[in-house]
């Protein structure tokens, strides 16, 4: 039974002579180390460039000063409130966009009627700058959270609906035939086969939509004012508080990094079965 010993990542005996696991780990480590080094070098250039007069410290305040401000705002509670509000708006909008996008994407793939209705709407809407709808949402809803969240959901909807539609329309027939032969009914197939099968593409849609949602949140906050990272940055700008503006930039960078990495982790979790997770 020679083919029994051929389970690739499971069998601990990797091909004899092939470099063993530690080698790949150290390659990954080197990768990370280089990336961290580049970021540190940029941070150092920023710090010293600003501190020793290469750049006007009003236009670009030294990193240490910005970090100090971030720290004091963190203690005073300004940063947690701003971060919390921005994150709440971004994620709520994203989740609403995802729920609608995934549902409509699947329905479009399953029913010609739904496809006829939404296809033109999506073709027209996708390339449009969604932010242009903001005045409408402000008129229809409010100048607070509702219109911001709807704006975010609206901008996240497009990449998600098109990825889901693409993912669920050209499905491999074999798992579907398998499920049918075991007695699955049409409505079982959605949860049991279509969704798991389209999951890689749906997740890709979500990964495209998430940064779009973050951008939309910040821009909406900037346009409408009030609390939240974007609003606070615009206020700082109006008061010529350049340290405050750069503190906002750092907050956005950190928030964006955490949220995007979080979604990447979810992807790895959901797709453990996929060959992409086994490289």
Where does this chain bind another protein (CB under 8 A)? 1-4, 6-10, 174-175, 177-184, 192-193, 196-197, 199, 272-275, 278
Instruction: Return the structure tokens found at 44.
Output: 């150092």
Taking the least distance from each CB to another protein, the nearer of 68 and 192 is 192
CB 188, min distance to another protein, A: 8
CA-to-CA distance for 211 and 160, rounded, in angstroms? 12
Smallest separation, CB 110 to another protein (Å): 18
Q: How far apart are CB 270 and another protein at their closest, in Å?
A: 9
Cβ atoms of 263 and 210 closer than 8 Å: yes
> Minimum distance between the CB of residue 9 and another protein, rounded to whole angstroms?
6
Residue (1 or 59) nearer to another protein, CB: 1
For the chain, give the DSSP string.
-GGGG--TTTSS-PPTTSPPHHHHHHHHHHHHHHHHHHHHHHHHHHHHHHHTTSS-TTTS--HHHHHHHHHHHHHHTHHHHHHHHHHHHHHHHHHHHHHHHHHHHHHHHH-HHHHHHHHHHHHHHTTS-GGGGHHHHHHHS-SSHHHHHHHHHHHHHHHHHHHHHHHHHS--HHHHHHHHHTT--HHHHIIIIIHHHHHHHHHHHHHHHHHHHHHHHHHHHHHH-SSSHHHHHHHHHHTT-HHHHHHHHHHHHHHHHHHHHHHHHHHHHHTTTSGGGG-
Nearer to another protein, 145 or 192 (CB): 192
Compare residues 193 and 233 and give the one whose CB is closer to another protein.
Answer: 193
Cβ distance to another protein smaller for residue 21 or 174: 174
11 vs 253, beta carbon nearer another protein: 11
Shortest Å distance, C-beta 174 to another protein? 4
Residues 137, 232: Cα–Cα separation, whole Å = 22
If the CB atoms of residues 196 and 225 are measured against another protein, the closer one turns out to be 196
CB of 199 to another protein, least distance (A): 7
10 Å Cβ neighbour count for 159? 22
CB of 275 to another protein, least distance (A): 5
């Amino acid at each position: 039974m020679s083919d029994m010993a051929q389970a690739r990542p499971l069998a601990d005996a990797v091909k004899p002579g092939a470099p063993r696991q530690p080698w790949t780990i150290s390659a990954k480590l080197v990768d990370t180390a280089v990336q961290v080094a580049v970021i540190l070098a940029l941070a150092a250039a920023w710090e010293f460039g600003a501190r020793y007069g290469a750049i006007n410290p009003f236009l670009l305040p030294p990193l240490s000063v910005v970090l100090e401000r971030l720290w004091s705002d963190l203690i005073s509670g300004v940063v947690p409130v701003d971060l919390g509000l921005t994150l709440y708006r971004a994620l709520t909008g994203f989740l609403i966009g995802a729920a609608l996008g995934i549902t409509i994407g699947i329905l479009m793939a399953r029913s010609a009627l739904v496809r006829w209705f939404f296809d033109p709407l999506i073709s027209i809407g996708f390339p449009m700058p969604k932010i242009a709808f903001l005045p409408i949402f402000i008129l229809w809803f409010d100048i607070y959270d509702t219109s911001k969240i709807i704006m975010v959901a609206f901008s996240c909807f497009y990449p998600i609906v098109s990825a889901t539609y693409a993912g669920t329309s050209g499905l491999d027939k074999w798992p579907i035939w398998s499920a049918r032969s075991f007695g699955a009914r049409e409505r079982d197939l959605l949860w049991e086969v279509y969704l798991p099968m389209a999951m890689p593409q749906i997740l890709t849609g979500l990964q495209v939509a998430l940064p779009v949602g973050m951008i939309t949140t910040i821009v909406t906050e900037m346009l409408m004012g009030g609390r939240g990272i974007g609003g606070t940055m615009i206020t700082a700008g109006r008061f010529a508080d350049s340290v405050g503006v750069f503190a906002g930039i750092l907050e956005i960078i950190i928030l964006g990094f955490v949220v995007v990495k979080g979604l990447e982790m979810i992807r790895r979790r959901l797709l453990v079965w996929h060959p992409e997770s086994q490289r």
